[in-house]
Amino acid sequence: MPPTHIVFDLDGTLIDSAAAILASYRAAFAACGLAPVRRIEANIVGPPINETLRLLVGSGDPALIGWLAAAFRQSYDEGGLLETAAYPGIDELLAALREEGCVLHIATNKRIHPTRLILDHLGWRDCFDAVYALDLFTPGLPDKAAMIGRLLADRRIGAAQAVYVGDRMEDGVAAEANGLPFIAAAWGYGGPRAEAMVARWRMAATPRELGRMLLDRNK
C-alpha cells in the first residue's frame, strides 16, 4: 500500500521561523541580564527550547533554564511568532497534496500553543488532520521519535502508509525509529549533508521537488 499520510516537521520544513525564534532568544537573555556562551544564530533553530537554552547558557541548571524559557515564551507568544512565514511554494505543496487525497499531519518540537497560533496566522489550521508536539500530553513526550510513534498509534496509521518530512538529521533518525521513509527538506536550517544521508533517505531541493516525490509515491 503506497503512503497516503504525510507527516511534516514544522520549523525549517514548512515555515521559516528563524528570525522570530532568534529574536526571542536574544530578548530572553536580555530580560534575564545574561550573555549567551555561543552565538544566537540560525543553526540553533530546531531542537526543543530547553535543549537549546542549555546549549546557549552553558548550564543545565533547571532554575536558570526555566527562567530563560519563561522569558523566551513571553517574547515569542506575545507577538514574536507573527514574524513567521511559509517557505515559498509550501502553500501550493499543501494544496496539491490534499487535492490528491493525502492526509497531512504535523509532528514538531515546537510547543503546541505557538504551533496552533502559527497555523491560524498562516491559514493552515484546517490543512492538517493531526498536530502533535512534545508538550501536547502530560507528561510530555521525551523526543520526536516517541511523538511520531504516538501519532501513528493514535491515528492507527501503519508505517507502510506514511512518510516523514523534516530538515534535520534527528528527523531522519526519528522516522527510522518508527519504520517510516524519510525525505529531507534541503531548504531548512539543518538539512543533512549528502554524505550523512542514510542510503534509503531521499532529499528534496525545493518544495516543488518534494511534491513530485510525494505524489509519485501515491500513484
- Domains along the sequence of the chain with CATH: 5-16+84-217 (3.40.50.1000), 18-82 (1.10.150)
User: Is 91 one of the catalytic residues?
Assistant: no
Q: Give me the mean pLDDT over the 115-142 stretch.
A: 96
Q: Give me the mean pLDDT over the 200-210 stretch.
A: 95
Q: Which amino acid is at 2?
A: P
Mean pLDDT of the chain: 93
Percent above pLDDT 90 for the chain: 85
Q: Give me the mean pLDDT over the 192-205 stretch.
A: 82
CA dist., res. 71 & res. 66, Å (int): 9
Checking if the pLDDT of 3 tops 80, the result is no
Checking if the pLDDT of 2 tops 60, the result is no
Closest CA to 121 of 39, 10, 214: 10
Neighbours of 96 (CB within 10 A): 16
Phi, psi of 9 (to 5 degrees): -70, 170
Mean pLDDT lowest for which of 15-19, 169-173, 195-199? 195-199
The helix or strand, by DSSP H or E, that contains position 106, with its residue range, turns out to be strand 103-108
CA contacts within 13 A on the Cβ side of 94: 23
pLDDT reported for residue 1: 46
Checking if the pLDDT of 91 tops 50, the result is yes
pLDDT band at 56 (very low <50, low <70, confident <90, very high): very high
pLDDT reported for residue 107: 98
Q: Give me the mean pLDDT over the 144-166 stretch.
A: 97
